[in-house]
Amino acid sequence: MERSFEELEDARSKPSRLTIADGHLGIWSALGELHAQGKEQRCWNHKIRNVLDCFPKRIRAEAAEQLKKIPYAATLVECERLRDMFVDRYRKDYLKATEKLLADWDRMVTFYSFPKEHWSHLRTTNVVESPFSSVRLRTDAAKRFKKVQNATAMIWKLLRVAEKNFRTLKGYWLLSDVYHGKTFVDGVMKQKNRGIERLAA
């Protein structure tokens, strides 16, 4: 895992501001060593599935309805209010489910410190997993390639085809602000107080 990140760092000149991944411990460990200044966001789809697996099937639909509202709250405060309501309702009978939800919470809400226009791209790893789903279908069917080069060529071609259906990034004009470290609170850029700056000068 660490070697893969080192190769990525060597291949690009600018470090990313945010990494989105599932709960794989190896990913976070490697990031902590190689890219400590970058922010980290865990995938809400993986989190929701893991939490729901702790419930009996008869009440999963009810729990899912409440759980899925949490990452779509308009503000961090509202998100945590919905979280607390969920925990209060289910902690007594389904402690493991609530512990799963609370685990690694800080990484679940990192997206609130990025532009609101970007949130739909940041809550989950779908942006990566969706293109690779078609790749897995073909490579699983082929079972095993005799040459690595053949597998690489097919994967590359499949991704180029999938690329034609990629959506334009929402709020792409805000990427420069993100990269240059502008502060966002609940998805809105925090403006500096010019009057205070002039007095300080």
Q: Give the residue ranges of the chain where pLDDT is below 50.
A: 1-2, 5, 11, 13, 195-201
Helices (H), 91-147: 95-102, 105-108, 119-122, 126-142
Q: Residue 199: its pLDDT value, please?
A: 47
Model confidence, pTM: 0.73
Give pLDDT tens digits for 45-97. Answer: 999 999 999 999 999 999 999 999 999 999 999 999 999 999 999 999 999 99
Q: Residue 196: its pLDDT value, please?
A: 45
Q: Is 31 in contact with 19 (CB distance < 8 Å)?
A: yes
- The whole-angstrom separation of Cα 81 and Cα 78 is 5
| Amino acid (1-letter code) at residue 112 | Y
Q: Residue 201: its pLDDT value, please?
A: 47
DSSP conformation class of 75: S
Find where tokens 């994967």 sit: 155
Say how many residues make up the chain: 201
